[in-house]
């Protein structure tokens, strides 16, 4: 189970940038959406890097710019072979297992508020559970998943993934722990998510600073 002496690998799957965040189109241009996605990824990478017990970070994507960003942060870029989030996570988990990872922590690239304390709590819970899971704001999605060992369970990202992961853990008779975190829960997909994110005014978060730089508050004032 995760502790200071075991190998915890973090996996961050990232969509191709030109396919990401279509629901933000009313507010952001295509280029701004790409830049915003990269800033959120950088925020997540900074947080993961600051948690010393995480042995290695893997960013899996088909996007060369994303893979280069991973390299810039001394993370391992992994070229995604198949299409689909579960397939990408499965590929990355296989990579971790071959390198004797004890645990795998799967995080999305669009939770820029995630803090080191959140990940440390996940790892602490993982000392007593084979699956630790943290949901999206709706309670239906999975925004953080820790598996010990990394292949303890397949993943079920997609509709109602939170419940599907819990059901799979029950079916496999593996121990599970749930973590509630408002910071992990805020993944930014919609204009409402974006407004909620801005309203928190997290000045230390690079994704937020990018939005301020492009005058997002002014745009929102014009549109409401």
CA 80 to chain centre: 16
For residue 221, the model assigns a pLDDT of 79
For residue 220, the model assigns a pLDDT of 85
Tally DSSP H helices, then E strands, for the chain. Answer: 9, 7
CA distance 69 to 62: 13
* 28-to-44, 141, 182, 215 alpha-carbon distances in Å: 21, 24, 25, 11
165, with CB counted inside 10 A (0-12, 13-18, 19+), is buried
Kindly report whether the peptide bond that precedes residue 93 is cis, defined as omega within 30 degrees of 0.
no
For the whole model, what pTM was predicted? Answer: 0.95
CA distance 15 to 88: 10
For residue 160, the model assigns a pLDDT of 97
Cβ neighbours for 102, distance < 8 A, ≥ 6 positions apart: 1, 2, 6, 7, 8, 148, 149, 150
For residue 1, the model assigns a pLDDT of 44
- HSE-up of 49 (CA within 13 Å, CB side)? 14
pLDDT in tens, 141-151: 999 999 999 99
Kindly list the averaged pLDDT for each block of 10 residues, start to end, along the chain of length 224. 68 96 95 98 98 97 98 98 96 97 98 98 97 98 98 98 98 98 97 95 96 92 55
For residue 224, the model assigns a pLDDT of 42
* 207-to-47, 99, 197, 215 alpha-carbon distances in Å: 13, 32, 10, 13
Domains and CATH numbers, the chain: 8-223 (3.90.550.10)
Whose tokens are 């396919």? That residue is: 19
CA distance 202 to 75: 25
Angle in degrees, 0-180, between the axes of helices 216-223 and 191-199, rounded to the nearest 10: 120
């Amino acid at each position: 189970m995760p502790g200071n002496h075991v190998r915890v690998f973090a996996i961050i799957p990232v969509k191709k940038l030109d396919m990401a965040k279509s629901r933000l189109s009313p507010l952001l241009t295509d280029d701004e959406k790409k830049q915003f996605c990269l800033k959120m990824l950088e925020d997540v990478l900074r947080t993961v890097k600051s948690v010393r017990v995480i042995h290695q970070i893997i960013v899996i994507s088909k996007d060369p710019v994303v893979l280069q960003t991973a390299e810039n942060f001394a993370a391992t870029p992994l070229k995604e072979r198949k299409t689909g989030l579960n397939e990408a996570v499965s590929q990355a988990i296989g990579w971790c297992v071959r390198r004797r990872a004890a645990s795998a922590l799967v995080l999305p690239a669009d939770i820029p508020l995630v803090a080191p304390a959140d990940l440390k709590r996940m790892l602490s819970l993982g000392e007593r559970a084979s699956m630790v899971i943290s949901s999206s704001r709706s309670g239906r999605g999975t925004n953080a998943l820790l598996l010990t060992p990394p292949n303890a369970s397949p993943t079920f990202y997609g509709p109602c993934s939170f419940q599907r992961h819990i059901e799979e853990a029950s079916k496999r008779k593996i121990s599970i722990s749930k973590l509630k975190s408002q910071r992990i829960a805020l993944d930014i997909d919609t204009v409402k998510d974006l407004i909620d994110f801005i309203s928190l005014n997290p000045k230390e978060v690079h994704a937020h600073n990018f939005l301020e730089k492009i005058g997002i508050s002014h745009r929102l004032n014009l549109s409401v």
